[in-house]
Amino acid sequence: MANKNTYDESAIQVLEGLEAVRKRPGMYIGSTDVRGLHHLVWEIVDNSIDEALAGYATEINVTLEKNGSVTVADNGRGVPTGMHATGRPTPEVIFSVLHAGGKFGGSGYKTSGGLHGVGSSVVNALSKKFQVTINRDKQTHQISFKNGGNLDQPLTQTGNTNRTGTIVNFLPDDGIFTTTKFNFSTISERLKESALLNSGLKITLKDETTDKHVEYQFENGLEEFVKELCEDMTKITDIITIKGENKRIEGEIALQYTEDYNETVLGFANNVKTGDGGTHITGFKTGLVKAINDYAKANKILKDKDPRLDSNDLREGLVAIVTVKIPEDLIEYEGQTKGKLGTPDAKSAVEQITYNFMNFWLTENKAPATKIIEKALLARRAREEARKARQVIRDSKGKKQNRTMLGKLTPAQGRKKEINELYLVEGDSAGGSAKSGRDRTFQAILPLRGKVINSEKAKLADLMKNEEILTMITAIGAGIGSEFDISEINYGKVIIMTDADTDGAHIQTLLLTFFFRYMKDLITNKHIFIALPPLYKLIFSDRSFIYLWDEDELAQYSKNSTKRFEIQRYKGLGEMNADQLWETTMDPSKRKLILVTIEDALLAEKSFRTLMGDDAEKRKEWIQENVKFTLEDSEVDLLVKEEN
């Protein structure tokens, strides 16, 4: 029975294959936390999207079922149901052999680029139940697996149908994942992105436990994508769309110039976000900058002797989505993740497509073209100013003159930059207490008087005239804006210490805005903290006392304590003397710090801009929702890493 033997052997191989996934799930889906859990969904959905890209599926429906499983259904051709060369039905191989993806059925153009192409079998390996329904050739077929890919029901014809398509239902293994609860909005956002990137494709999501459902379908997805990114900005141009093919690479780009100061350029290669850019993005920028410069020279907006406009300046206010479709054999990524496209031809292809179209567009749209150039000239001036300011600061380093630049700063005495801390303290009186209470070996104090200038509204030149801002820039010592260099910072932690009231919150917001706008790396590299002063002091009859940080702690304490005490509520930092301030808010072994991180820089970008207007309430709301504040303790891993 040679045949039976081969079958058994390959069956054993299968189990070994999927067992590897169960042993080290992180290798296949990144992690076993909530992120990894959602990777399961992306993996299956990506197969449906491939089928849409191949031109067969037009609709994908995702359902979060009541039993905690997920169903993904598409109306494509349906997975082939015939026998595979191994002697087993193709679906059995597809769904339970590792790396089965591209090897079968000759799909040489796998475009959505699922995670390392291992696909559905990985999901099966990490599921308690995995069921596939295939509608194809007028028949419905089913196959199911359980407990990490063990065949439960072999492929069976279960009925007749006029439809075509594939339906996968899987229940994640709760023995593998730290959580098996799916997040509706996480999935919804990702599906929306897929719909935006694949015009015409209809994608729905339904949550059977809550009845929530959404449906996405965009006629001009990229245009819509840019429109949403630019929602609150003043526009300089209409949305420009560019499409073309070159060297077997298809490029599709949508862009718009706005009055904003920032650049938002998002890249995708075969539907996968390339967070770290790559050759397609470089090509786009090069083509765009070249076209605009050529136009500016040809039309004498730039004189012959003027230097060409700098790429950085030309990208202020630019919002763009750059997508490429690249055949499998040309795809290259740089680094370990798929964050950066490496395909060399993508640069020249996108550059040429962009250059050619923009050349044409600029001559046809002279008024907005001039505006783009004028804006870049302004940006150039601002950048030169920033550089000058930085030079002044540089030149003054270690010199006497520095004293005036450093204004009211009380420096730390120690020279270990990584452990030094800069406290930005609201008000002169709290500043005084902080100064006498601090540990002078590593803590520096900068008192801030009154309101900090709103950097969202003020021009860079005005900011540079503001004494407090200038002192802060000088003290931090790493420049500002495009000249900011994180490797030169003088402090490991910059700690904002304000009263726990609305004024304090406002000052925090203004400072965060400033850091976000001009020293973003300070936030992304986790150097910005907010100090949490206690709200209550409980004094006992024997004069001993303790501090409590919020109402919850107070309620908790009151409930459990038998001793009598008097409650003192702190209104502001100014009420604490130097010792108290040290003990509660500055002593690293006792204080509570909040680490400020930005979850999604892109979202943050957009929202900062919108909300830094006059609407304080809206602003506060936004900060609460989108800036992630983490108690230092809960970020211990990261902090330990950083401090070593």
Q: Least Å distance between CB 430 and ligand 1YM?
A: 60
Non-local CB neighbours of 307 within 8 Å, separated by 6+ positions: none
| Site of tokens 């202020």 | 316
3-state secondary structure of 125: helix
From 92, 260, 499, 605, the catalytic residue? 499
Please answer whether residues 219 and 199 qualify as being in contact, where contact means their C-beta atoms are separated by less than 8 angstroms.
yes
Q: Least Å distance between CB 16 and ligand 1YM?
A: 21
Identity (one letter) of the amino acid at 200? G
Range 485-497 burial, b when 16+ CB lie within 10 A, else e: eeeebbbbbbbbb
Please answer whether residues 144 and 155 qualify as being in contact, where contact means their C-beta atoms are separated by less than 8 angstroms.
no
Please answer whether residues 518 and 456 qualify as being in contact, where contact means their C-beta atoms are separated by less than 8 angstroms.
no
Q: Least Å distance between CB 626 and ligand 1YM?
A: 33
From 224, 426, 456, 468, the catalytic residue? 426
Our answer to whether residue 550 is catalytic in this structure is no
Q: How far apart are CA 106 and CA 116, in angstroms?
A: 17
- Picking from 92, 205, 75, the residue whose alpha carbon sits closest to that of residue 145 is 92
Residue nearest to ligand 1YM (CB): 105
From 384, 501, 600, 621, the catalytic residue? 501
Q: How far apart are CA 474 and CA 406, in angstroms?
A: 6
Identity (one letter) of the amino acid at 488? E
- Picking from 432, 272, 309, 296, the residue whose alpha carbon sits closest to that of residue 366 is 296
Rank residues 203 and 531 by Cβ distance to ligand 1YM and give the closer one. Answer: 203
Q: How far apart are CA 216 and CA 226, in angstroms?
A: 16
Our answer to whether residue 46 is catalytic in this structure is no
Rank residues 108 and 307 by Cβ distance to ligand 1YM and give the closer one. Answer: 108
Non-local CB neighbours of 614 within 8 Å, separated by 6+ positions: none
Rank residues 89 and 221 by Cβ distance to ligand 1YM and give the closer one. Answer: 89
Q: How many residues does the chain have?
A: 644
Our answer to whether residue 521 is catalytic in this structure is no
From 65, 263, 503, 553, the catalytic residue? 503
Q: Least Å distance between CB 82 and ligand 1YM?
A: 9
3-state secondary structure of 100: coil
Rank residues 79 and 531 by Cβ distance to ligand 1YM and give the closer one. Answer: 79
Half-sphere exposure of 392 (CA within 13 A, CB side): 16
Identity (one letter) of the amino acid at 390? R
Distances 549 to 86, 546, 556, 563 between C-alpha atoms, Å: 66, 10, 11, 19
Angle, helices 502-518 vs 616-626, to 10°: value is: 70
Q: Least Å distance between CB 50 and ligand 1YM?
A: 7
Rank residues 51 and 173 by Cβ distance to ligand 1YM and give the closer one. Answer: 51
Q: Least Å distance between CB 640 and ligand 1YM?
A: 42
Q: Least Å distance between CB 165 and ligand 1YM?
A: 7
Rank residues 47 and 490 by Cβ distance to ligand 1YM and give the closer one. Answer: 47
Our answer to whether residue 33 is catalytic in this structure is no
Strand 528-532 and strand 493-497: the pairing is parallel
Q: Least Å distance between CB 267 and ligand 1YM?
A: 26
596: enclosing H helix or E strand: strand 592-598
Site residues (vs ligand 1YM, CB under 6 A): 44, 47-48, 51, 72, 74, 76-77, 79-80, 90, 94, 104-107, 166, 168
- Give the tokens for residue 187: 């999935």
Rank residues 72 and 341 by Cβ distance to ligand 1YM and give the closer one. Answer: 72
Please answer whether residues 340 and 278 qualify as being in contact, where contact means their C-beta atoms are separated by less than 8 angstroms.
yes
Rank residues 169 and 455 by Cβ distance to ligand 1YM and give the closer one. Answer: 169
Q: Least Å distance between CB 137 and ligand 1YM?
A: 11
Rank residues 41 and 222 by Cβ distance to ligand 1YM and give the closer one. Answer: 41
Q: How far apart are CA 580 and CA 576, in angstroms?
A: 6
Distances 278 to 117, 223, 324, 358, 538 between C-alpha atoms, Å: 20, 22, 11, 21, 58
Catalytic residue list:
426, 499, 501, 503
